[in-house]
Structure 1
Amino acid sequence: NHTFNSYSKNTGLTKYDKEKYQQALTANQKLVDAEKAKMHANAAIAAKDEFNKLSNTGNSDYLVNKQVEGIGVKYGRRFIAVPIHGIDNDLRGIQKIFNDGSKRFTTGAKIKGGFHLLGKINPDGAIHFAEGYSTAATAHQAINQATVVCFNAGNLSPVIAEFRKKYPDNKFVICADNDQFGEVNTGLVKATEAAAKHTCSIALPVFKDLSSKPTDFNDLQL
């Protein structure tokens, strides 16, 4: 007599083993998600405490060099603090931008889907999206319309997805970075992907002088 188990052709696992394995994976993922949520919550608490202690006024060599205003930011010693909010206006963390242009996020903060809004949203108006603070501030100062800091190219789509749910009828414009001097034009690639996915138009800076290797709308202003 022979006993046959229902082995998978690919793994050699029985159906029972596969179910137990999947249960273990699910349980492990729940632990990972719980730890991540705890990390994000602790980061938000730390960020709120620090942000509240910072000054509403101050000086920033970074803002002077970029020729933009500090909109909704706070000031620390040799840095500005850009708040990172979720779509429900919860403060998740801050991005510190130092005088030399270096940047640092709150450790453990949830960046995906997080943003900083410049200006107010008009129900019938366009909403603009940009990667960095200086690019968004440049666009906002030029057009005086709501502009959203997404912090990096990979975060354009997650942020725009949240806004599209809340503002389904507004026109969306991505003020894309033109990373034309890299092996991959990451700014344009990510902007194009987000535009196709969330029904947006794209504004791309075009430069007459390429000697300084410009990439974004702030470079165009300077």
Structure 2
Amino acid sequence: MTDKRTPLDFDAIRAAAVGNYVSTIFPAAGISFTKAAHQHQACPMCGGSDRFRCDDKRGEGTWICSQCGAGNGFMLVQQYTCLDVYETNKLIAGAIGIDATSEVTDEQRAQWQSQQVEREAADKAEKRQARIDAASRAQSIWNNAKPAADDHPYLLRKNVSAIGLRQDSSDNLIISMHYYSADKQQTTLVNLQTIAPDSEKLFLKGGLVSGAYFTIGSPAMFSGGVILICEGYATGATVFDAMSYSLPVIVAFNANNLIPVAQSIRAQYPDHRIIICADDDSATAAKLRDKDIADGKEPKPLIEYNTGIHKAQQAAISINGEIVTPSFDILDIDKDAA
């Protein structure tokens, strides 16, 4: 008897898997979707509702979850099943019905590589055009919107004012999203976030989000040497008010965007004191950790489930900045410094 595993050609398996993740591989691994794969829905791993989608870029089963992060189809299968690399490849090979032990020729490898390069080039061109189109739509929507009213239902629920916001004919709040290009040293409008009266938040389809931000406060406020960064508009407006309208606040829109936004602001203001005002998701973190334990999974450190704090810490470290939690006690000093 021997425990030696039969050699598998991982390259052949992964190449053959392209285009088969959503239709064949995921179901074989027990991963099911309640909606079309590309729509927001419950995450197969963390279970959070409406935070996961599978965009299946290049046919590689790519996915995004606001809690778990992002990855390709192989990663999703491996994380969901808790199998090692060998067993994951074996499962995928069986799902698509290929002989995982067959020899792969140099011609096949060259063909797969060429096809991959073509897919990546097409995907890059498609994404670039989508961003251009979204930026154009954003400018048109912004130009045709009116200043937002403070009595908008979302603002009333959050007890904040409309600072630099606009409102469309359907009573959606409109928040402009700007991106700083280090090469051109200029900031441009690239996208919008809309907030409906019922609090539903959306970005323009195809628009750039990573690194894009909204500024609360006037340009003159940046001369004070302190900049605050937070996730959402309501938090930003609350902090801005708490600081007596004296310090600029940058809105990053979500936790995963804190790092690219913080790095963008640092590039523009290398000598400023930058403070990340973190959202504390401790209640959600405890539930997610308990779920992992109940599912028999090895729990991660609790901080890794607390997306607001964890991403804020990473953002602060990446720019040599600071972090404060929702008490914001440290900011009392900043009122005098501004």
- TM-score, length basis structure 1: 0.81
Give yes or no for contact 2:160–2:237 (8 Å, CA) kept in 1: yes
| Richer in helix (by share) | 2
Query: Letter of the aligned partner of 1:127 in structure 2?
Result: I
**For this pair of structures, how many residues does the alignment match?**
199
Q: Deviations over 1:92-117 (max 9, x none)?
A: 12111122222111121111111101
How far has the Cα of 1:195 moved from its partner?
1.2
> How many Å separate the matches in 2 of 1:50 and 1:122?
28
DSSP-derived class of the 1:89 partner: strand
Residue type at the aligned position of 2:248: A
Distance 1:15 1:164 in 2: 47
**Alpha-carbon separation, structure 2, partners of 1:57 and 1:17:** 58
Report the Cα distance in structure 2 between the residues aligned to 1:37 and 1:171, rounded to whole angstroms. 34
1:80 paired residue among 173, 190, 199? 173
Q: Distance in 2 between matches of 1:27 and 1:38?
A: 17
- Residue 87 of structure 2: aligned partner: none
Question: Is 1:203 matched up with 2:324?
Answer: yes
Q: For residues 65-101 of structure 1, what are the alpha-carbon distances to aligned partners after superposition, in whole Å with 9 as ceiling and x for unaligned?
A: 2221211110123321001111132111211112222
Residues 123, 170 of structure 1: 8 Å contact kept:
no
Aligned to 1:53, which of 124, 130, 144? 144
Distance 1:95 1:164 in 2: 23
Instruction: Report the CA distance shift for 1:197/1:27 in structure 2 as closer, same or farther (over 3 A).
Output: same
Give the whole-Å Cα distance in 2 for the aligned partners of 1:18 and 1:158: 36
SS in 1 for 2:272: coil
2:188 is the counterpart of 1:90: yes
Once the two structures are TM-superposed, the CA of residue 45 in structure 1 deviates from its matched residue by 1.0
The Cα shift of 1:14 comes to 5.8
Gaps of 5+ in 1: 1-8, 208-222
Q: Which amino acid aligns with 1:43?
A: A
CA displacement at 1:124 relative to structure 2: 4.7
**For 1:20-40, what per-residue CA distance to the aligned partner results, in whole angstroms no more than 9, with x for missing partners?**
543442332121111001011
The answer to whether the 8 A contact 1:56-1:74 is kept is: yes
Which residue of structure 2 aligns with residue 34 of structure 1? 125
Match of residue 178, structure 1, among 258, 280, 284 = 280
Give the SS at the match of 1:205. Answer: coil
| Deviation (angstroms), 1:169 | 1.0
Q: Report the Cα offset of residue 151 of structure 1.
A: 0.4
Once structures 1 and 2 are overlaid, which stretch shifts more, 156-165 or 17-26? 17-26
Match of 2:225 in 1: 125
Give % identity. Answer: 31
Give, in angstroms, the shift of residue 19 of structure 1.
Answer: 5.2
Distance 2:275 2:111 in 1: 48
What is the distance in 2 between the residues matched to 1:78 and 1:159? 28
Calculate the aligned-residue CA RMSD, in Å: 2.1
Equivalent in the alignment of 2:211:
113
Q: 1:52 and 1:10 mapped to 2: Cα distance? A: 52
Q: How does 1:20-31 map to 2 (within 5 A)?
A: 21-31=112-122
For CA contacts below 8 A with separation 6 or more, give which structure has more relative contact order.
1
User: Is the contact made by 1:116 and 1:148 (CA closer than 8 Å) also made in structure 2?
Assistant: yes
Q: State the alpha-carbon separation in 2 of the partners of residues 167 and 23 from structure 1.
A: 42
SS in 1 for 2:187: coil
One-letter amino acid of the structure 2 residue matched with residue 161 of structure 1: Q
Partners of 1:72 and 1:99 lie apart in 2 by 18
Structure 2 residue 238 is matched with structure 1 residue 138: yes
Partner of 2:312: 191
Instruction: Note if contact 2:148-2:173 (Cα within 8 Å) is conserved in structure 1.
Output: no
Q: Which residue of 2 aligns with 1:66?
A: 158
Query: Which runs of at least 4 in structure 1 moved beyond 3 Å after TM superposition?
Result: 9-24
| Structure 1 residue 206 displacement after superposition | 4.2
